Structure 1
Amino acid sequence: MLNREEVDRALARLGAERDAVEAALLALQDHQGLRLLTGAELAGRTRERWSAAEGGVALLWALFDRYAEALASARAVRSRRNRPTAAELAELSELLSGRSVTVSGGRLPDAAAGLGAPARLVEQVTLAELLERMNGWYALVVDVVSAVDAVWSALPARIDLLLAELGRVQMLAGSVGVRPGGHPLADDLAELAEQLTALRTLVVSDPLALWRPSRVPAQRGREAAGGAWTSPAGAVDTAGFDRMGRRLDDVRVELEGLLRLRDESHERLQQVADLLQRADLTLGEARRARGEVLAKIAATEVPPVPGPPSALREAIGQAVDFQQTGQWHRLGPLLDALEDAAAKELGRARQALTEVAQPLAVRAELRGRLEAYKAMAARLGLAEDPEVVERFEKARWLLWSAPCDLRAAAEAVGRFQQALRPPQPRPEQRAPAVRDGRPPEQGDQRDLRDQGEDSDG
Structure 2
Amino acid sequence: MSREGVDHALRTLRAERDRISASLLDLDGHEGSRLLEGARLTGETWRRWDDAKTRMTSLWALFDAYQRVLEAAQELRDRNPRPDAATLVELSGMLSGLSVELPDGEIPLQDRTLLGPHERRVTLEEAVALMSEAYTFVAGEIAAADAAWTALLLPLEEAEESWRRTARLAHSLDGTRHPELDRVGRELTALGRLIRTDPLSLVRNGAPDTTRLDRVRTILTSLGDELAGVARMRDDYDELVARVTASIEEIEATERRAHEAHRTALSKIESPNLPAPSHGLGAGLRDRLAALERLREAGRWVEMAGRFAELERATDEALERARGDLRLSAGLLDRRGELRGRLEAYRAKAARLGVVEDERLTELYGEARDVLWTAPCDLRRATTVLAEFQRALRACESETGTRR
TM-score bucket (shorter structure): 0.7 to 0.9
Q: Taking structure 1 as reference, are residues 408 and 157 closer, same or farther at Cα in structure 2, changes over 3 Å only?
A: closer
2:68 aligned residue: 66
1:187 aligned residue: 182
1:252 aligns with 2:250: no
Q: 1:346 aligns with which of 302, 319, 322?
A: 319
Q: 2:340 aligns with which of 367, 380, 405?
A: 367
What is the count of residue pairs matched by the alignment?
Answer: 392
Q: Taking structure 1 as reference, are residues 178 and 242 closer, same or farther at Cα in structure 2, changes over 3 Å only?
A: farther
1:167 aligned residue: 164
Give me the whole-angstrom Cα distance separating, in 2, the residues matched to 1:69 and 1:245.
Answer: 57
Give me the whole-angstrom Cα distance separating, in 2, the residues matched to 1:245 and 1:144.
Answer: 28
1:280 aligned residue: 252
Cα offset, 1:174, TM superposition: 1.3
Q: CA RMSD in A?
A: 4.6
1:18 aligns with 2:9: no
Computing the radius of gyration from Cα coordinates, the structure with the larger value is 1
Q: Is the contact made by 2:173 and 2:231 (CA closer than 8 Å) also made in structure 1?
A: yes
Give me the whole-angstrom Cα distance separating, in 1, the residues matched to 2:331 and 2:34.
Answer: 90
Q: Is the contact made by 2:244 and 2:312 (CA closer than 8 Å) also made in structure 1?
A: yes
What per-residue deviation string (whole Å, max 9, x for no partner) do you get for residues 431-456 of structure 1?
xxxxxxxxxxxxxxxxxxxxxxxxxx
What per-residue deviation string (whole Å, max 9, x for no partner) do you get for residues 179-201 of structure 1?
43xx43332343145325534xx
Q: Taking structure 1 as reference, are residues 118 and 276 closer, same or farther at Cα in structure 2, changes over 3 Å only?
A: farther
User: What's the secondary structure of 1:306's corresponding residue?
Assistant: coil
User: What's the secondary structure of 2:337's corresponding residue?
Assistant: helix
Cα offset, 1:168, TM superposition: 1.4
Give me the whole-angstrom Cα distance separating, in 2, the residues matched to 1:166 and 1:173.
Answer: 10
**Which ranges in structure 1 are unaligned for 5 or more consecutive residues?**
215-233, 426-457
User: What's the secondary structure of 1:304's corresponding residue?
Assistant: coil
The structure where helix makes up a greater share of residues is 2
Q: Is the contact made by 2:62 and 2:102 (CA closer than 8 Å) also made in structure 1?
A: no
User: What's the secondary structure of 1:80's corresponding residue?
Assistant: coil
Q: Taking structure 1 as reference, are residues 364 and 240 closer, same or farther at Cα in structure 2, changes over 3 Å only?
A: closer
User: What's the secondary structure of 1:65's corresponding residue?
Assistant: helix
Cα offset, 1:50, TM superposition: 6.5
1:128 aligns with 2:100: no
Q: Taking structure 1 as reference, are residues 363 and 75 closer, same or farther at Cα in structure 2, changes over 3 Å only?
A: same
5 Å-filtered alignment, 1:426-437, equals none
Name the TM-score, length of structure 1 as normaliser.
0.65
Q: Is the contact made by 1:109 and 1:140 (CA closer than 8 Å) also made in structure 2?
A: no
Cα offset, 1:273, TM superposition: 4.0
Cα offset, 1:383, TM superposition: 6.4
Q: Is the contact made by 1:104 and 1:120 (CA closer than 8 Å) also made in structure 2?
A: no
What per-residue deviation string (whole Å, max 9, x for no partner) do you get for residues 373-408 of structure 1?
343344345668898778756654554344445566
Q: Is the contact made by 2:269 and 2:377 (CA closer than 8 Å) also made in structure 1?
A: yes
Q: 2:264 aligns with which of 292, 295, 298?
A: 292
1:98 aligned residue: 97
Give me the whole-angstrom Cα distance separating, in 1, the residues matched to 2:383 and 2:209.
Answer: 84
Give me the whole-angstrom Cα distance separating, in 2, the residues matched to 1:296 and 1:158.
Answer: 72
Q: Is the contact made by 2:6 and 2:92 (CA closer than 8 Å) also made in structure 1?
A: yes
What per-residue deviation string (whole Å, max 9, x for no partner) do you get for residues 394-437 of structure 1?
65455434444556656765676647936949xxxxxxxxxxxx
User: What's the secondary structure of 1:107's corresponding residue?
Assistant: helix
User: What's the secondary structure of 1:176's corresponding residue?
Assistant: helix
Amino acid across the alignment from 1:62:
D
Give me the whole-angstrom Cα distance separating, in 2, the residues matched to 1:104 and 1:409.
Answer: 115
User: What's the secondary structure of 2:174's corresponding residue?
Assistant: coil
Cα offset, 1:172, TM superposition: 1.1
Give me the whole-angstrom Cα distance separating, in 1, the residues matched to 2:294 and 2:41.
Answer: 55
Give me the whole-angstrom Cα distance separating, in 2, the residues matched to 1:384 and 1:104.
Answer: 131
Amino acid across the alignment from 2:123:
T
Q: Is the contact made by 1:147 and 1:208 (CA closer than 8 Å) also made in structure 2?
A: no
Q: Is the contact made by 1:77 and 1:88 (CA closer than 8 Å) also made in structure 2?
A: no
Q: Is the contact made by 2:255 and 2:278 (CA closer than 8 Å) also made in structure 1?
A: yes
Give me the whole-angstrom Cα distance separating, in 1, the residues matched to 2:15 and 2:214.
Answer: 46
Q: Is the contact made by 1:104 and 1:121 (CA closer than 8 Å) also made in structure 2?
A: no
Q: Is the contact made by 1:152 and 1:207 (CA closer than 8 Å) also made in structure 2?
A: no
1:48 aligns with 2:50: yes
Q: Percent identity?
A: 33
**Which ranges in structure 2 are unaligned for 5 or more consecutive residues?**
none
Cα offset, 1:167, TM superposition: 1.6
Give me the whole-angstrom Cα distance separating, in 1, the residues matched to 2:350 and 2:367.
Answer: 15
Give me the whole-angstrom Cα distance separating, in 2, the residues matched to 1:423 and 1:212.
Answer: 89
Give me the whole-angstrom Cα distance separating, in 2, the residues matched to 1:212 and 1:414.
Answer: 81
Q: Is the contact made by 1:63 and 1:130 (CA closer than 8 Å) also made in structure 2?
A: no
